[in-house]
């Protein structure tokens, strides 16, 4: 089984971090195919950026549609997910939807903790898309964008743990998602210091991608009644144009 | 006042139809600036197409951001609306959101009638985005895609009127939206034969675009706390890249 | 086009303030017809007052039904709106519904700021009626009824700006509605000091009343399937009794 | 204990029917005080009628506020209920809210059956006000207004039983409310022919009015934080003006 | 009329307290039949405990099904309620559902106050089951489990009154439910010190149990379409096994 | 990894069918531990049965808590799931919740098809518990309980396929869950004849149980803030009593 791990952010170091977190969780025989966006933004954080980077993500998925078994859109916020899921004939999951779905089966309520308030609105959109708002206790972030401020790992750890403890004590969250690619892999590091279940989004995406492959087949996806009609286009990357034009 | 009437579908005849329907409704002194997409699709009808065409729409809006006072995204389904509204420093409205918002102030319940079942799912998304689901009684369409089948205007009229009457009699709709650019301008033609208020989306978009300009200022939009941070990009059209990079 | 600007509060100075705020926003050729209630209350603030004043409002609208093209119920809280919209054969809008509807198309989330906590419950009812609760971040008011306390304009301005800034910083509101007739016209005064879009309800009502007139016709309203059946009555003002008895 | 049974419809025969249905259900020592509206309409069925008749109902309640222990607004649709509950210092219940509340504790899902489609929209409003929409399976009525058509009791019985059986078989309703004053007392007649629990609204109102009196005191109502402020008025009936002006 | 007052907690002193609070509210001629659980837990406070004690409650109800007219499950949280209501041919009410339903007809919004944070999650479940979340302003409790700490009645009173006052002042609750069997009967004691309506759950359960008996008949319950099919079982208490096996 | 596959129905043939469907989907190195209930019912289909069988399920889980890594409650309807998830220090999943969660990540909308209308209400409860109602298009079943009627596999297949096709054509479902243990394993058989994704609940439960084990640790579960307090009990099976009494 081959799974495309598509980072729609233009940061190969972030891709490496996520791949490193994902590898140990992948089943034997599963090959992760990490790909980093070559167009778009270093770090998507607005809706316009998600609209654009999501369209670029479709181009990359189209290039790999036939040589992988499933796709992970590896940015919390899941740019292009709804479009990709409708269009392509294989399972597609996003980091946010994966983490939220796993959180909802592991406890009664979940919070999201991330490193910057800039992402809150977009992350709440992801919860809306999941339909699981009722189990959601909110996003907690540092007051200001602290990504730059985290000169050392220690101060970031301190702040994140403070927020996590508030999710448990104030919001009564059973499960806490560490959202945002820069936090990939931290859940297992922090788990022993936290009285709630911590969820790592990239790991969640890997287990759900595998799960979807096991539960279905590519031909089942190809035969979906809800597949869009074939459509000609102008100005698109070749692979994507071909995919859209295929009946 | 200048309003960009951006058709994200690559069909100048459709743009002409919409502009013709929009002109009479525009206030004196309002100039409509019709622009037809040069990339994308003849007629957007899937989520992937909306993801891609919405990104192209952002390019066009960026080119006109400084020389118009408001923007209409002239496709029912509103590709790129959420992104554009967050990003640009002027009012942006979509045909679906405009029609739905006006329907909600003109009656208690509204239906959407359109010419093809292919659009239903995407149109329901628009209602979800508006938050007005509770007043929504559903989409009614011909059973199959009848656009091609409508060789003559008469058979299309007959079928649409049949659907409209069902919205009134079965769904108890007070207001009926004629969704989809090909139906632009038909509401006033059909009104005298219908026992409910008919809404024309492009006309709704024009009145709301004007309304938003009257109620605010471009500088108010520029000073929004919720404006995204400036961001560098790779591979974008120049005007859009510049807009995104502007603090 | 003639628009009835009906103030259901018995305060002609308040009517004057609202008319003064409304005039500049009205299109050329639009005549506003300001009318002040002669029965009821100086300032409606409870449900019983709204039930009673709303019934009085119907009397006044009935008197003007044939000589105006649209009606504005010019009290935030919209007494009698649902009844008037169902009964009369022309567009009717309330200040609350107008402001809320415009807020929902100008940003993702909106707050209401007003001058007294007495109105909060009634204003929340208006949001419920609009169906737009999901985009609503709440009402902010001074802790006690400060209307009397505002001896001078300056202290009121200070307090309102403090509340507005909390809506932006704490509630992440994109749009803020200045609710309540005494605040009519203040939005444009405060706009330059605020990092969000400020909405003036009476201005919103004017633009939407005009918009509804443009999008429909009185005969369309007269032919509505949902029009109530003709009904005889006892003890009602003549014009209202006549309107209700008309098939 | 004295309970005002206020019929806001101007029909003393309807009042008699309801009182006759209510008497046997009232506890020993409970005196029902039937009052028929002297202004308004023979049978309220629109929102304008409810706005007006609800205001008249407040006048009548104000006259009796000090000499009864609770109030029943005896019209399904509950004109003036929200206003009366906020304003007066004693328990107030409406027939619709009473029946809906009892239905919700007697089964998992409930339907409303009534004799005319004219009331459907208003009845759905009552369910909305109750907050119990999720347990509601809808209103079933004859296709046209059959009140006049029911020359004899037999044909009405046949039609109502047909509708009730559909509620059970199609909608899976556990409880069925026979809404509308003309159906008062029929629930017990029909019960043996129906495989679901039938609810009589006036009986429901009596048991809940008594229950509220038992659970609280008039002084508790008088001390409510949420009581509206005292207010002067113009043009109101004396007792109502006095009640509103009382601190 | 005989009403089973079943305390699913193994505490006869708690049963006595509740019976003492319930007796004065019961109508003349109503006999309360207090029964204390002989298996299970001293005080149910988790979902596992509710699952188990709810199953035990079914055993006890089955023993009394034919000799009582209604059943009160006398633990706030209502273990076994949904199961009992579906299974048995008589009215069944729980303390939580009773209090919540009465609160919803006595005011616009309600809070729950209880003596320990351990119960909050389970109590919120009860509100979810009632469907009345929209009128619910939340549970307020001492920060830690203070049941043991309340050596004297005075300190408990002080803390509960503090919480009640917060519900009124901060949450704008019209009605406050004193949840949890240990608080049975306190509502009337505290009422004169509180500016909102206080609700006693066991009293609410008594009035609603009587109300349900008055509105229906055992044979109506027996004929319900929604009654489960007869079913054989292994390992159940005899009376319960017999009840389940009865067609 | 060892996963308890607990069939709360007393049918070892059903356990065998489910184990046979589950084995091929389990990862290498995963041992399924099938256990059939020895008390309760042959086939749970009411809420009382779920209350009782859910309590029995807790007994069995308690016996295995220390020697397995995760638990599957292998009955669609998930008796005891909420209780078990809160109580035990390891991941617990039910067949319904698993299938619903996987359906929600594989498409936009899902239906449930099962073999008897008796289960519909209970299955809808499962969707309610999942929080995913908005993506749910309903349960479709044969009109009457056809389990007995399916003398041969062929007639059952025909009927189920008919229902599945209605889910696709009428309800626009992207994903269809074949609910109910007797249908275990049929999804893959039918997939090639269906234009939507078919989901097998027991397979879904296996992949999600494995996924939860990979994403967390037993010690993380043991340290949950939301763990219930230790509690003594009377009349419980020993292992369950011990589990509940463990701090």
Residues contacting residue A193 through CB under 8 Å, at least 6 positions apart = A161
Which residue is closest to A134 within chain E, CA to CA? E128
pLDDT at residue B181 greater than cutoff 90 = no
pLDDT reported for residue D150: 55
CA atoms of A16 and A114, how far apart (whole Å): 19
Instruction: Using CA coordinates, name the residue in chain A closest to C109.
Output: A121
Question: pLDDT higher for F119 or F71?
Answer: F71
- Evaluate whether chains E and D are touching (3 or more beta carbon pairs less than 8 Å apart): yes
Give the chain B residue whose CA is nearest to the CA of D128. B134
- E48, E82, E145: residue with CB nearest F244: E48
- Which pLDDT score is estimated for C188? 93
Give the position of tokens 């009593």.
F241
Q: What is the pLDDT of residue E120?
A: 87
Question: Taking CB atoms and an 8 Å cutoff, what residues of chain D touch E218?
Answer: none
pLDDT at residue C118, rounded to an integer: 82
| Same domain membership, residue B190 and residue B122 | yes
In the block, which residue shows the tokens 């879904």? F204
Out of B25, B106, B135, closest to residue C91 by CB = B106
Question: Which pLDDT band holds residue B178 (cuts at 50, 70, 90)?
Answer: very high
> Residue F105: which of A194, A81, C63 has the closest Cα?
A81
Q: Count B/D contacts: CB-CB distance under 8 Å.
A: 3
- Tell me the shortest Cα–Cα distance from D8 to chain C, in angstroms: 12
Q: Which residues of A touch F195 (CB under 8 A)?
A: 223-225
CA distance A36 to D223: 66
Chain D residues near residue E223 by CB distance under 8 angstroms:
194-195
The 10 Å CB-count burial string (b at 16+, else e) for D154-185 is: eebeebbeebbbebbeebbbbbbbbbbbbbbb
SS3 E242: helix
Q: What whole-number distance in Å separates Cα of residue B40 and Cα of residue B78? A: 15
User: Which residues neighbour E181 within 8 Å (Cβ) at sequence distance 6 or greater?
Assistant: E7, E9, E11, E14, E17, E18, E43, E74, E75, E76, E95, E202
Asked if A215 and A182 sit in the same domain, the reply is no
Same domain, F189 and F215: no
Q: Which two tokens stand for residue B141?
A: 């369409």
Quick one: tokens of B217? 């200022």
Side by side, the strands of the sheet bearing E110-113 are: E136-140, E110-113, E175-178, E197-199
Do D176 and D224 lie in a common domain? no
CA distance A159 to chain B (A): 23
Quote the CA–CA distance of B192 and B186 in Å, as a whole number.
11
| Radius of gyration in angstroms for the set of CA atoms belonging to chain D, rounded to a whole number | 18
pLDDT tens, residue by residue, D82-97: 999 999 999 999 999 9
pLDDT bracket for residue F247 (50, 70, 90): confident
In angstroms, the CA C23 to CA C42 distance is 23
CA distance F158 to F156: 5
Burial of residue F67 (number of CB atoms within 10 Å: 0-12, 13-18, 19+): exposed
| Chains in contact with F, counting 3 or more C-beta pairs less than 8 Å apart as contact | A, B, D, E
Distance from CA of C197 to the nearest CA of A (A): 18
Mean of pLDDT values over D220-234 = 95
The total number of structural domains that make up chain E: 2
Q: HSE of D75 in the Cβ direction (CA atoms, 13 Å)?
A: 29
Provide the CATH number for the domain around residue E40.
3.40.50.12500
Three-class SS string for chain A? CEEEEEEEECCHHHHHHHHHHHHHHCCCCCEEEEEEEEEEECCCCCHHHHHHHHHHHHHHHHHHCCCCCEEEECCCCCCCHHHHHHHCCCCEEEHHHHHHHHHHHHCCCEEEECCCHHHHHHHHHHHHHHCCHHHEEEEECCCCCCCCCCCCHHHHHHHHHHHHHHHHHCCCCCEEEECCHHHCCHHHHHHHHCCCEEECHHHHHHHHHHHHHHHCCHHHHHCCCCCCCCCCCECCCHHHHHHHHCC
* Mean pLDDT, residues B221-236: 95
d(CA D22, CA D4): 12
Nearest chain F alpha carbon to B120: F172
For residue B70, is pLDDT > 80? yes
pLDDT at res. B189: 93
Same domain, D85 and D146: no
Mutate to test the interface with F, among A216, A222, A227, A228 (most CBs of F within 10 A): A216
- pLDDT of C180 reads 87
Q: Which pLDDT score is estimated for D114?
A: 93
pLDDT at E180: 87
Alpha-carbon torsion (D143, D145, D147, D150), positive or negative? negative
Termini Cα distance of chain C: 26
Of the candidates A46, A49, A229, the beta carbon closest to that of B118 is on A229
Percentage of chain C modeled with pLDDT above 70: 96
Distance from CA of C126 to the nearest CA of D (A): 13
Interatomic CA distance for residues B111 and C6, integer angstroms: 31
CA angle in degrees (0–180, nearest 5) for D98-D104-D110: 100
Same domain, yes or no: F80 and F141: no
DSSP readout, D117-138?
GGGHHHHHHHHHHHT-GGGEEE
Beta bridge partners of A2: A31
Report the length, in residues, of chain A.
247
CB contact under 8 A, F240 and E52: yes
SS3 track for D43-81: CCCCHHHHHHHHHHHHHHHHHHCCCCCEEEECCCCCCCH
Residues of E in contact with C120 (CB under 8 A): 172
Residue of B38, B45, B52 with shortest CB distance to A58: B52
Contacts of A108 in chain E (CB under 8 A): 121
**Whether pLDDT at A146 is above 90:** no
- The first and second tokens of residue E243, run together, are 């009840």
pLDDT at F148 over 60: no
Chain E interface disruption, residue of F51, F148, F225, F242, most E CBs within 10 A: F51
Maximum separation of any 2 CA atoms in chain F, in Å = 54
pLDDT average, residue stretch C64-79: 97
Phi, psi at C43, each rounded to 5°? -155, 110
Residues D214 and D193 in one domain: no
Average pLDDT over residues F51-62: 98
Quote the pLDDT of residue A9: 97
Handedness of CA C187, C188, C192, C193 (dihedral sign): negative
pLDDT range class, residue A147, cuts 50, 70, 90: low
Within 8 A of D108 by CB-CB distance, chain E residues are 82, 85-86, 226
Chain centroid, CA A56 distance in Å: 16
Instruction: Give the rounded percent of residues in chain F with a pLDDT score beyond 70.
Output: 96
Rg (CA), chain B: 18
**Contact of F213 with F1, CB cutoff 8 Å:** yes
pLDDT at C151: 59
Which tens digits make up the pLDDT trace of E22-34?
Answer: 999 999 999 999 9
**pLDDT value of residue C115:** 87
CA–centroid distance for B111 within its chain: 16
Overall average pLDDT of the B104-115 stretch: 96
Q: Using CB atoms within 10 Å of the CB of residue A89, give its burial: 0 to 12 exposed, 13 to 18 middle, 19+ buried.
A: middle
Range of the domain at C234: 2-94+204-245
Q: Does residue E133 have a pLDDT over 90?
A: yes
Kind and range of the H or E run holding D10: none
> Which DSSP helix (H) or strand (E) runs through C182?
none
The tens digit of pLDDT for each residue in E83-107 reads 999 999 999 999 999 999 999 999 9
Verify B-A touch: 3 or more CB pairs within 8 A. Answer: yes
**E8 and E102 in one domain?**
no
Token pair 């999942």 in the structure block, residue: F130
pLDDT of residue E150 exceeding 70 = no
pLDDT value at D116 more than 90: no
pLDDT tens column, F33-43: 999 999 999 99
Q: Taking 90 as the threshold, does the pLDDT of residue C230 lie above it? A: yes
Confidence tier at F120 by pLDDT (50, 70, 90): confident
Which residue among C101, C196, C203 sits closest to B225, beta carbon to beta carbon? C196
A49 neighbourhood in chain B, CB within 8 Å:
228, 231, 233, 244
Distance, CA of E156 to CA of E115 (rounded, Å): 8
Distance of CA D51 to the CA centre of its chain: 15
Averaged pLDDT of chain C: 94
pLDDT, mean over chain B: 94
pLDDT at position C247 is 87
Residue of B nearest to C71 (CA): B106
Residue found by looking up tokens 């300001």 in the block: C34
**What's the CA gap between C69 and E104, in Å, rounded?**
41
Neighbouring-strand partners of residue A92 = A71
Q: Any idea what DSSP says for residue C181? A: G
Tell me the chain D residues in contact with residue B108 when contact means C-beta distances shorter than 8 Å: 121
Same domain, B68 and B57: yes
Alpha helices in chain D (DSSP H): 12-22, 47-64, 81-87, 95-106, 120-130, 153-169, 186-190, 201-215, 218-222, 238-245
Kindly report the average pLDDT of chain D as a whole number.
94
Q: Do A51 and B47 touch (CB under 8 A)?
A: no
The answer to whether residue D111 scores a pLDDT higher than 90 is yes
Q: Provide, rounded to the nearest whole percent, the portion of chain C with pLDDT above 90.
A: 88
Q: Which residues pair with C140 in a beta bridge?
A: C113
Confidence of residue F101 (pLDDT cuts 50, 70, 90): very high
> Any residues with CB less than 8 A from the CB of C37 and at least 6 apart, and which?
C6, C7, C8, C9, C10, C53, C56, C57, C60
- pLDDT tens per residue, range A168-210: 999 999 999 999 888 988 999 999 999 999 999 999 999 999 9
Task: Using CB atoms within 10 Å of the CB of residue B89, give its burial: 0 to 12 exposed, 13 to 18 middle, 19+ buried.
Answer: middle
CA distance B171 to B107: 13
Contacts of C49 in chain D (CB under 8 A): 228, 231, 233, 244
ipTM of this predicted structure: 0.96
Judging contacts by C-beta atoms under 8 Å, the chain C residues touching residue D247 are none
A145 pLDDT exceeds 80?
no
What is the pLDDT, as a whole number, of residue D119?
84
Span D197-225, average pLDDT: 97
Q: A134 or E145: which carries more pLDDT confidence?
A: A134
pLDDT in tens, C121-168: 889 999 999 999 999 999 999 886 555 555 577 888 899 999 999 999
- Comparing alpha-carbon positions, the chain A residue that sits nearest to E133 is A134
Average of per-residue pLDDT values in chain A: 94
- Spatial separation of the C-alpha atoms in residues E163 and E169, rounded to whole Å: 10
| Same domain (yes/no): B107, B184 | yes
Whether residues D209 and D90 share a domain: the answer is yes
**Distance from C132 to chain B by nearest Cα, in Å?**
6
Q: Say if residue F146's pLDDT is above 70.
A: no
| pLDDT one-digit tens code per residue, A61-97 | 999 999 999 999 999 999 999 999 999 999 999 999 9
D52 and D15 share one domain: yes
Q: What is the mean pLDDT of residues E5-9?
A: 98
If interface means Cβ-Cβ distance under 8 Å, which residues of chain F face chain E?
10, 38-42, 45-52, 54-56, 58, 80, 82-84, 86-87, 118, 121, 226, 228-229, 231-236, 240, 244
- Which pLDDT belongs to residue E117? 86
Residue C86 is encoded by which pair of tokens?
A: 């169902």
Nearest residue in C to D48, CA atom: C83
Q: Going by C-beta distance under 8 Å and a sequence separation of 6 or more, which residues neighbour residue E244?
A: E87, E228, E230, E231, E232, E233, E236, F48, F49
Which residues in B lie closer than 8 A to residue F108 (C-beta atoms)?
121
Mean pLDDT of C86-92: 97
In whole angstroms, give the CA distance from residue E18 to residue C69: 64
Q: What pTM was computed for the model? A: 0.96
Q: pLDDT tens digits for B10-20?
A: 999 999 999 99
CA distance A193 to chain B (A): 34
Kindly report the three-state secondary structure assignment for every residue of F206-229. Answer: HHHHHHHHHHCCHHHHHCCCCCCC
| Packing angle of the helix pair D95-106, E201-215 (nearest 10 deg) | 100
- Minimal Cα–Cα distance from B244 to chain A, Å? 8
């Amino acid at each position: 089984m081959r799974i495309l791990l598509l980072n729609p952010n233009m940061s190969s170091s972030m891709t490496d971090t996520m791949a490193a977190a994902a590898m140990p969780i992948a089943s034997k025989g599963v090959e992760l195919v990490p790909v980093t966006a070559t167009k778009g933004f270093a770090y998507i954080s607005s809706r316009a950026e998600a609209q654009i980077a999501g369209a670029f993500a479709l181009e990359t998925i189209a290039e790999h549609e036939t040589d992988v078994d499933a796709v992970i859109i590896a940015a919390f916020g899941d740019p292009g997910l709804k479009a990709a899921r409708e269009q392509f004939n294989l399972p597609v999951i996003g980091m946010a939807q994966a983490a939220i779905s796993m959180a909802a089966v592991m406890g009664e309520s979940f919070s999201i903790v991330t490193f910057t308030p800039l992402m809150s609105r977009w992350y709440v959109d992801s919860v809306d898309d999941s339909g699981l708002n009722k189990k959601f206790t909110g996003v907690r972030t540092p007051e200001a964008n602290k990504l730059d401020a985290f000169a050392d790992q220690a101060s970031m750890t301190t702040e994140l743990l403070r927020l996590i403890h508030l999710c448990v004590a104030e919001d009564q969250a059973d499960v806490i998602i560490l959202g945002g690619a820069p936090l990939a892999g931290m859940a297992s590091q922090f788990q022993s210091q936290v009285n709630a279940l911590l969820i790592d989004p990239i790991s969640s995406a890997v287990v759900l991608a595998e799960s979807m492959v096991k539960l279905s087949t590519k031909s089942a996806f190809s035969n979906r009644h809800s597949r869009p009609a074939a459509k000609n286009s102008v100005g698109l990357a070749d692979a994507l144009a071909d995919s859209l034009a295929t009946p």
